[in-house]
Structures are given as C-alpha cells and as structure tokens.
Structure 1
Amino acid sequence: MGQIVLKPYEDSCHEQVVQLYLAVTAKYKHAIFWWPGPEENHTNVYLAFDGEILAG
C-alpha cells in the first residue's frame, strides 16, 4: 500500500465509488456503505485514494 491521499468528491469519481461499492458488498454481504448522496452533500465528502485506486 502506498501513500493515502484524501480528495474532495467530484462527480467524475462516481464510477469509482460504484466499483468500490460492488467490490465491498461482493465480499461482505452485511457491509454498510455510505453514498455521497445529493449534490448539496458533496462538499462534505472526501475520498481516500491509494495512487489512482479509490480505497475509501
């Protein structure tokens, strides 16, 4: 694992969020996954990247 970098959520990251959701819920059937929600929430959402990979 490399250095984790936090970035604010952008609509362009939506597909990566979907892919992370699918990976997590495929492995952990009872996982709780928090979505970015409506656009007015986006300023409060940060994503954790390990290089180019969305980690959280």
Structure 2
Amino acid sequence: MTHSSNIGIYFFANYVVYDWAIAFLNSYRTFNPDLRLIMTSFNDQCDRLLKLSDIYNN
C-alpha cells in the first residue's frame, strides 16, 4: 500500500518518556507496519530515541 508523503503519525517524545515511547512504537509498528512515523522532540534530549530509528523505521 502506498501512502502520500504527508500522511502518517506525528508524535512528541524525549528521554523522559523513553519507556512509554518504546511501548507506543512497538504497538504502532505491530498494527501499522507501513504507515509513516515522524517523531518531534520536546527538546534536545532525544538521542536515545533517535538511535531506535533503524528498528522502527519503515
């Protein structure tokens, strides 16, 4: 299934909500394996989440 480049899920996160973000990402990819996912950080403290892009990117 092809999607428009502006369709997807945008979510906010940083290291404070890291565990919740992991739970969200696992659930999201289980039910939406091909839909675009875009993370926006609350602040500059998102290095741990950015390292996960290879796992959860499609």
Smaller-chain TM-score bracket: 0.3 to 0.5
TM-score, normalization: structure 2? 0.40
Q: Which has the higher strand share?
A: 1
Asked which structure has the greater RCO (Cα within 8 Å, sep 6+), the reply is 1
- TM (norm. structure 1) is 0.41
